[in-house]
């Protein structure tokens, strides 16, 4: 078996893991403004910027004033985490979860293809219907499909149990911006006041959504 050796240094870069971590968060705080966000949501915003590499993300964030308290309490009480995609689930840091919370994604459930075909919708949206038995008091993390967020809101309008909090950050060019605007307007339009965090526009994604959950899971940065 050959002995591995580090290649020679040809570039000047920081390679100390903890130092990279600390300086990354320091850089974000130097370059971003968190004015206008709830005071307790700064760490959530910082992690979402870290997960996206985009300091200007903060100006598009919309954070419900009750988000941090509701999500953190639910997680401490053992609430399940429901995700729209495996990429979101894989981005959640298990060691940060305060109660060994179960992370569930139903996208590969055998019932999903049939439901999607019968309803003429995406498989991601169909999988959301399988959340219903776990939805009451859960923390929802949507970082992929706008159809999943629309489907969730339609379920809530029809009387489905309400989650404790929604991280609604689907990404894309078709429906992403619209689904997130609908989430922001859900309380005014339908009287359903569920704490949420979202980012206006087309931006979003699994890394951004899971970063928000990781921040909510633990106060320590």
Catalytic residues: 50
Residue 196 pairs in a beta bridge with 166
CA distance 209 to 26: 21
To the nearest 10°, report the CA torsion of 128, 133, 134, 140: 30
The region that residue 135 occupies, defined by phi over 0 for left and psi between -120 and 50 for alpha, beta otherwise, is alpha
Burial of 94 (0-12, 13-18, 19+ CB in 10 A): exposed
Tell me the CA end-to-end span of the chain in Å, nearest whole number: 41
Q: What's the chain's length in residues? A: 221
Measured distance CA(120)–CA(13) in Å, rounded:
51
């Amino acid at each position: 078996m050959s002995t591995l050796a580090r290649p020679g240094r040809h570039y000047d870069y920081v390679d100390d893991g903890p130092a990279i971590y600390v300086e990354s968060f320091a850089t974000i705080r130097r370059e971003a403004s968190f004015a206008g966000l709830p005071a307790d949501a700064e760490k959530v915003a910082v992690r979402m910027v870290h997960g996206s590499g985009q300091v200007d993300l903060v100006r598009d964030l919309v954070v419900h004033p009750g988000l941090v308290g509701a999500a953190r309490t639910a997680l401490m009480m053992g609430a399940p985490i429901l995700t729209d995609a495996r990429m979101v689930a894989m981005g959640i840091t298990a060691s940060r979860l305060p109660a060994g919370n179960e992370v569930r994604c139903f996208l590969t459930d055998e019932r999903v293809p049939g439901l999607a075909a019968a309803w003429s919708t995406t498989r991601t949206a169909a999988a959301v219907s399988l959340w219903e038995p776990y939805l009451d008091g859960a923390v929802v993390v949507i970082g992929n499909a706008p159809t999943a967020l629309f489907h969730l809101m339609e379920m809530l309008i029809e009387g489905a149990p309400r989650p404790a909090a929604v991280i609604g950050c689907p990404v894309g060019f078709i429906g992403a911006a619209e689904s997130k605007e609908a989430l922001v307007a859900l309380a005014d339009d339908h009287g359903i006041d569920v704490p949420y965090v979202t980012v206006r526009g087309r931006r979003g994604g699994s890394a951004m959504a899971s970063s928000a959950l990781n921040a909510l899971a633990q106060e320590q940065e």
